[in-house]
Amino acid sequence: MFKSLKKVVAAVLAFAMLASATACKSDTSWAMKNDSLTAPIGVYIYNLYSAYQTAQSTVTDTSKPVLEQKIDGKDAETYMKQKALDSTKMLFVMNDKMKELGLTLTADETKAISSNTDTQWAQASATLEKYGVSKASFNLAYSDYYTKYQKVFTALYGKGGKKEVSEAELKAYFEKNYTDFSYFLKPLYNTDTTGNTVLLKDSEKAAVKKEFDAYAADVKAGKKTMQQAADAYKTSSKQTNDQLQSATEILNASSGYPEDFISLLSSMKAGEVKGAEVSGVYLVVMKNDISKKTSAQLGTESSRSSVLAQMKGKEYSDEIDKEAAAYTNVTLNQKALDSYKPSMFVTAASSTAPTASAAASEAAPATSSK
């Protein structure tokens, strides 16, 4: 009798275990997890969407679909899925680093995360929700992640950090890589009533050159400051806004300035003033002494952090990328991951949603938010 009972109990337990295992396999609400964090599948979908957008902006052949091309030597779908997987693992890498460094989010940071998510979600929700990304998943993959990303960066490279950058190193980097300059300009074209661009006649261009070269000569001779010269042009051209523009930046391809403008400034010495034609405008530009900006640029926490990020940002990003690619302390929900393919974004990929970028960033689109 007892043997028979044991068989019944064993059979019931075996059935229960099978049912539990089956239920677990069919649970596609999460992408990956470990003892301290669970990433909803919506986080992975968001990162897959971001990878698709990144791939679109990376390929140079616009004559054929992105999914028919290769990126970094891989077919596009493989590239996107791996990038999405690694971006999702970054959440776990960052979670571990926060613990290792004894960091927690402050009440103000948590409030700022929520506020940023609210703002971005208002623009991104229409695109992301139809793919199965909820606001909570977006918050975790975007605002929450990047706040922690910055916090860990500051803890590592800031004052007292394991990889602290000294003031002398930061100063040397700033003065070597940044350029401080001021300029005002006039486009060498007009816009007609239909919105078309009409180039100035040669005689009109010559008049602009003569006027701007005179401003440059006055600044060189000490008769006018750059501000006074810009104000003189403002009066001459009957403008209402201040014409002088100033900036302190690293001038490279990603700075947004035209290549010939960057080349012009690179050829100038500190204190030099020039009148020149670049990229369809005529301007007066002055290259300032960068060392006079050092104290101001490194004197406040926000501007100092900006310089530090320029100096060590890529090193940090590469480290996180490498750790995420090698991260194994996580259980993957492969069935859920395999349910989503980049082709789900082909018809309506949009730039309205912020992407995961390097730090974070199809037959079965989800119909419910995860």
Q: What is the mean pLDDT of residues 122-144?
A: 96
Q: What is the mean pLDDT of residues 80-108?
A: 97
Q: What is the pLDDT of residue 85?
A: 98
Q: Return the exposure string of 100-135: e unless at least 16 CB atoms fall within 10 Å of the residue's CB, then b.
A: eeeeeeeeeeeeebeebbeebbeebbebbbebbbbb
Of all residues in the chain, the percent with pLDDT exceeding 90 is: 80
Pairing mode of beta strands 30-33, 38-40? antiparallel
- Residue 93 predicted with pLDDT over 80: yes
Q: Which two tokens stand for residue 258?
A: 């035209």
Q: What is the pLDDT of residue 191?
A: 87
Phi then psi for residue 191, to 5 deg, are: -115, 125
- Residue 94 predicted with pLDDT over 80: yes
- Asked if 211 and 233 count as a contact pair (C-beta separation under 8 A), the reply is yes
**Single-letter amino acid, residue 327:** Y
Q: What is the pLDDT of residue 19?
A: 41
Q: What is the mean pLDDT of residues 286-313?
A: 94
- Give the residue ranges of DSSP H helices in the chain: 2-26, 41-58, 76-100, 107-128, 135-139, 145-157, 167-177, 202-220, 226-236, 259-266, 294-299, 301-326, 334-338
- Residue 116 predicted with pLDDT over 60: yes
Candidates 80, 146, 77, 82; CA nearest to 113 is: 146
Least confident among 11-25, 118-132, 239-253, 330-344: 11-25
Q: Which residues touch 297 (CB under 8 Å, ≥6 apart)? A: 174, 178, 248, 303, 304, 307
Q: For 163-208, what is each residue's pLDDT tens digit?
A: 999 999 999 999 999 999 999 999 999 988 888 899 999 999 999 9
Distances (CA, A) of 356 to 48, 239, 267: 9, 41, 37
Q: What is the pTM of this model?
A: 0.79
Report the chain's C-alpha Rg in angstroms. 28
Q: For 35-70, what is each residue's pLDDT tens digit?
A: 999 999 999 999 999 999 999 988 888 889 999 999
Q: How far from the centroid of its chain's Cα atoms is residue 167's Cα?
A: 26
Candidates 268, 348, 364, 336; CA nearest to 84 is: 336
Q: What is the mean pLDDT of residues 350-370?
A: 44
Q: Classify residue 361 as exposed, middle or buried by CB count within 10 Å of its CB (0-12, 13-18, 19+).
A: buried
- Asked if 257 and 192 count as a contact pair (C-beta separation under 8 A), the reply is no
Domains and CATH numbers, the chain: 33-164+304-345 (no CATH), 180-294 (3.10.50)
- Asked if 218 and 224 count as a contact pair (C-beta separation under 8 A), the reply is yes
Max intra-chain CA distance, the chain? 113
Pairing mode of beta strands 70-71, 245-249? unpaired
Q: For 3-37, what is each residue's pLDDT tens digit?
A: 444 444 444 444 444 444 444 456 899 999 999 99
Q: What is the pLDDT of residue 370?
A: 54
Positive or negative: CA dihedral 96, 102, 104, 109: negative
Rounded CA separation 325/314 (Å): 16
